[in-house]
Amino acid sequence: MLTLIAEIISVGTELLLGEILDTNAPYLATELKQRGVRLYNKSTVGDNLERLCAALEGALSRADLVILGGGLGPTDDDLTREAIAAVLGETPEVDSELLAHLEGLFSSRGRVMPLTNRKQAWLIPSAESLPNPIGTAPGWFVRTQGKVIVALPGPPHEMQRMWTEQVLPRLQLPESALFHVTYHTLGIGESNIAELLGAELTQSANPSVATYARAHGVDVRVAASAATLEQARALAQPVQAQLERVLGAFVYGTDRDTLASVIESLLSARGQTVATVESITGGLVADRLTDAPGASTHFAGGAVAYTNAVKLGYGLTPATLSAAGAVSEAAALELARGARQAFGSDWGLSTTGVAGPAPLEGHAPGVAFIGVVGPEFERAVRLDWPGDRRQVKERAALSAMGALLRALKEG
Amino acid sequence: MLTLIAEIISVGTELLLGEILDTNAPYLATELKQRGVRLYNKSTVGDNLERLCAALEGALSRADLVILGGGLGPTDDDLTREAIAAVLGETPEVDSELLAHLEGLFSSRGRVMPLTNRKQAWLIPSAESLPNPIGTAPGWFVRTQGKVIVALPGPPHEMQRMWTEQVLPRLQLPESALFHVTYHTLGIGESNIAELLGAELTQSANPSVATYARAHGVDVRVAASAATLEQARALAQPVQAQLERVLGAFVYGTDRDTLASVIESLLSARGQTVATVESITGGLVADRLTDAPGASTHFAGGAVAYTNAVKLGYGLTPATLSAAGAVSEAAALELARGARQAFGSDWGLSTTGVAGPAPLEGHAPGVAFIGVVGPEFERAVRLDWPGDRRQVKERAALSAMGALLRALKEG
């Protein structure tokens, strides 16, 4: 099985300087990955002929397929055609058929084609023109010394259509299929996961296992490539089994699952509902729980009890407030019970703590308590995870959802 | 004035393969541009030592300053330190001070540091460690043969803080001072802003005016560079005056101001409070309002009234529910009045609408009503802005805060 190596070069000073976000390179990377093409480098260069030529030469020395995006416009700073011609030592000439087509585009809108657009009708001997039905810039498909250079226009919808309709049919892609699955974990750090998996797994190339620290926990991605999807799936299977055995307790879902969607399906399966009373998270838990469609069937309601006065209306007792304080295990449990009562739900979930920047009731920012109360279930969890105000809120919300999830799995 | 040439290398297979979007490189590109540093290339490489070394060597041959982002984690596929050491021919050793700091981070959370994290305490002779107060990965600042290599962690908030607090003071940037101010607008689109400003402003190089579409509205950034900060400020002044004249009605703050912080200061100045009853936004408005420190002084409380049963407990009348429905102007006003009453606040803010994906009460997803009720003030706003569930929630929350802000400015 031949492995095809590709490289992407995004062309444009506005991309380089971060003035517009490059969405083309990620799109192409995903397309290549799905077809078993290896991508090892991608780069961005400004509108400068010398540096564009250097980038193209470098890419041609490493890859079989070089995809250039952008720089096909009509103006002086559109230099992709010039760079390909210079690197291959070929001279561009105006293609009369292309020119007629371009002039037709302008005359059909009652306009005369500016002279600068003539270079969009250029071709070099090794280039084939790729039609652009929704823009003026045709692409180039260049075959040279066993390698392929593709030049695509910058506007994403033009690029994607040309890639799909013109480039893919011309590329002789290796017959391979990729199977991948992403496990979402909670309550364990990236380095602990790596330790549990062991070097044998994390350093394996095919199937590969990679960990990613995300805002919602650490993701572990297993990928395998083979001639058919079935074979790739079979290749990944033993690794998946080992991973599930080792990490199972921390895994809450795969691929498109989210904490909210998993909680939603656990609640729906039992015909149960949850309600929240939030202090430190200020509504963030309710926000996340209502991100899953159909939230009104399992989310009974929520309160943001930021002040002590409001907390007293949602289950906090004056005795607990004066003895243990609003930031305490006892308060978290009372607020979770209060949530059940106020909204008539099966489960109650509460958060109370110190978001910062100032300490509160003698607790440092980052100290928080989560309360989970359900049918024959009561638990309080203490958190101590310093950070800025937003980080503390995010982590407390994540921990609250994790605590509810564990309770639902156990209960 | 010497021209400094920089290059950015983003490290990570997940960035290369388009699984997560690289926002660090655009951030750094903007930072460099603002300080007169030339950026000619940026590239992305996967977690592979050989290719990372090749990329670093290439960058060092072209640039004076090479910034590496990512690859500083504790696992086997975090290879940035290894690559720098290999390219410079230096041997990493565990720095005892760094190690003690890292172990302290873990023990303060009652955990033992996994062995894999030891490499985050590595240093090479030419590297200085850059502290990371909000993560485990310290950065590296490497001086070698008249060039500088900077290694920054991948998580954006860690990277930005390290760049600002640690890297900028160490870099000997060209002697020029930059003055800049960012205006935050709401209720106007990017192209309309560009039209109002005119080509004279948007194409000017110094001072420069740039627009950025953000989740919180469109930002307009004015920047001017000169020999001194005073001169730069003077250069920007006429542009700022023109911008404020043209866009003033849409500007709600500058620089670090957020909608929440501006609302907070308007409320605090009057000694007033606000409370929320949210349906469509599911707690997101309360979450945002409580992002400002000291929120308990101006945020009286909130309810997430997702089901009609809960809405009836927060001011919605059965008459309105049956006549106009829960997604209506009348319902929004009743819920805003309900918020004032339930939490005893001066202002009540409500949201009700269809987040999707299914239509509700004959309304398409994206249709929503905002209610704002205050002392001698009542207003309902209708929104119709289709999108996916999360987009609809985000926009409705933004509109609700915008509506409250306008009410506070008028009232």
Distance from CA of B233 to the nearest CA of A (A): 23
Q: Mean pLDDT check: name the lowest of A205-214, B133-142, B281-290.
A: A205-214
Mutate to test the interface with A, among B44, B62, B103, B393 (most CBs of A within 10 A): B44
User: pLDDT value at position A375?
Assistant: 94
Residue A76 has pLDDT above 50, yes or no: yes
Comparing alpha-carbon positions, the chain A residue that sits nearest to B288 is A282
Comparing alpha-carbon positions, the chain B residue that sits nearest to A189 is B114
- Please, what sign has the CA dihedral across residues B56, B58, B63, B64? positive
The whole-angstrom separation of Cα A209 and Cα A224 is 9
The whole-angstrom separation of Cα B27 and Cα B160 is 8
- For A348, phi and psi rounded to 5 degrees? -125, 135
What single-letter DSSP state applies at residue B58? H
Rounded to two decimals, the pTM is 0.73
The whole-angstrom separation of Cα B224 and Cα B177 is 8
Q: pLDDT digits over A372-386, tens only?
A: 999 999 999 999 988
User: pLDDT value at position A175?
Assistant: 63
3-state helix, strand, coil in chain B (%, to 5): 45, 25, 30
Pairing of strands A274-278, A299-304: parallel
Q: How confident is the model at residue B265 (pLDDT cuts 50, 70, 90)?
A: very high
Q: How confident is the model at residue B1 (pLDDT cuts 50, 70, 90)?
A: very low
Q: Using alpha carbons, select from B67, B69, B80 the residue that is nearest to residue B32.
A: B67
**Share above pLDDT 70 across residues of chain A, in percent, rounded to a whole number:** 99
Q: pLDDT digits over B268-323, tens only?
A: 999 999 999 999 999 999 999 999 888 889 999 999 999 999 999 999 999 999 99
- Please, what sign has the CA dihedral across residues B248, B251, B255, B259? positive
Write the DSSP string, B281-339: TTTHHHHHHTTSTTGGGTEEEEEE--SHHHHHHTT--HHHHHHT-SSSHHHHHHHHHHH
Chain A residues touching B52 at Cβ < 8 A: none
Q: What is the SS3 assignment for B167?
A: helix
Q: Using alpha carbons, select from B163, B205, B201, B208 the residue that is nearest to residue B181.
A: B208
Mutate to test the interface with B, among A43, A163, A191, A297 (most CBs of B within 10 A): A191
Comparing alpha-carbon positions, the chain A residue that sits nearest to B360 is A294
Q: What is the SS3 assignment for B41?
A: strand
Mutate to test the interface with A, among B30, B42, B350 (most CBs of A within 10 A): B42
Check residues B196 and B304 and name the one with the higher pLDDT: B304
Chain B residues touching A58 at Cβ < 8 A: 58
- Residue A39 has its nearest CB partner, among B16, B20, B157, at B16
Distance from CA of A129 to the nearest CA of B (A): 28
Chain A residues touching B258 at Cβ < 8 A: none
Residues 6+ apart with CB under 8 A from A35: A173, A174, A176
Instruction: Please report where in the chains the tokens 């005056």 appear, as a residue.
Output: B241
User: pLDDT value at position B315?
Assistant: 97
Mutate to test the interface with A, among B32, B61, B75, B256 (most CBs of A within 10 A): B75
Chain B residues touching A17 at Cβ < 8 A: 29-30, 33, 39
Q: Using alpha carbons, select from A43, A37, A27, A33 the residue that is nearest to residue A6.
A: A37
Mean per-residue pLDDT, A32-42: 87
Q: pLDDT digits over B20-53, tens only?
A: 889 899 999 988 887 878 899 999 999 999 999 9
Chain A residues touching B44 at Cβ < 8 A: 25, 41-43
Domains of chain B are 5-170 (3.40.980.10), 177-254 (3.30.70.2860), 259-408 (3.90.950.20)
User: pLDDT value at position B175?
Assistant: 61
| Structure token digits, residue B4 | 């400094």
Residue A353 has pLDDT above 50, yes or no: yes
Chain A residues touching B74 at Cβ < 8 A: 190-191, 194
- Residue B291 has its nearest CB partner, among A199, A291, A389, at A389
Residue B372 has pLDDT above 90, yes or no: yes
Contact call for B29 and A41, based on CB within 8 A? no
- Residue B307 has its nearest CB partner, among A43, A195, A301, at A301
Identify the top-confidence range among A92-106, A214-228, B213-227.
A92-106
Chain B residues touching A211 at Cβ < 8 A: 75, 77
Contact call for A304 and B286, based on CB within 8 A? yes
Comparing alpha-carbon positions, the chain B residue that sits nearest to A51 is B40
Q: Using alpha carbons, select from B110, B283, B293, B286 the residue that is nearest to residue A383.
A: B110
Contact call for B27 and A18, based on CB within 8 A? yes
Asked if A254 and B318 touch (Cβ cutoff 8 Å), the reply is no
Distance from CA of B309 to the nearest CA of A (A): 9
Chain B residues touching A39 at Cβ < 8 A: 16-17, 46
Q: pLDDT digits over A287-319, tens only?
A: 999 998 888 899 999 999 999 999 999 999 999
Asked if A276 and B304 touch (Cβ cutoff 8 Å), the reply is yes
Mutate to test the interface with B, among A35, A304, A382, A399 (most CBs of B within 10 A): A304
Pairing of strands B274-278, B347-353: parallel
Other beta carbons within 10 Å of A83:
26
Write the DSSP string, B339-350: HHHHHT-SEEEE
User: pLDDT value at position A77?
Assistant: 78
- Residue A304 has its nearest CB partner, among B23, B115, B301, at B301
Q: Mean pLDDT check: name the lowest of A168-172, A203-207, A257-261, B392-396.
A: A203-207
Residue A2 has pLDDT above 70, yes or no: no
Chain B residues touching A385 at Cβ < 8 A: 109
Q: How confident is the model at residue A86 (pLDDT cuts 50, 70, 90)?
A: very high
Comparing alpha-carbon positions, the chain B residue that sits nearest to A308 is B296
| Structure token digits, residue B139 | 């950065």
Q: pLDDT digits over B47-73, tens only?
A: 999 999 999 999 999 999 999 999 999
Mutate to test the interface with B, among A7, A33, A42 (most CBs of B within 10 A): A42
Q: How many CB pairs under 8 A join A and B?
A: 231
Contact call for B389 and A310, based on CB within 8 A? no
User: pLDDT value at position B174?
Assistant: 65
- Residue A190 has its nearest CB partner, among B25, B41, B74, at B74
Residue A174 has pLDDT above 70, yes or no: no
Asked if B229 and B179 touch (Cβ cutoff 8 Å), the reply is yes
- Residue B116 has its nearest CB partner, among A195, A302, A357, at A195
Chain A residues touching B289 at Cβ < 8 A: 282
User: pLDDT value at position B35?
Assistant: 81
As a whole number, the mean pLDDT across chain A is 91
Comparing alpha-carbon positions, the chain A residue that sits nearest to B391 is A291
Contact call for A304 and B296, based on CB within 8 A? no
- Residue B282 has its nearest CB partner, among A195, A203, A286, at A286
User: Is the complex ipTM higher than 0.90?
Assistant: no
Residue A1 has pLDDT above 50, yes or no: no
Q: What is the SS3 assignment for A47?
A: coil
Q: In what order do the strands lie in the sheet with B251-254?
A: B208-214, B217-226, B177-185, B251-254
Q: pLDDT digits over A108-165, tens only?
A: 877 788 887 899 999 999 999 999 988 888 999 999 999 999 999 998 888 999 999 9
Residue B132 has pLDDT above 90, yes or no: yes
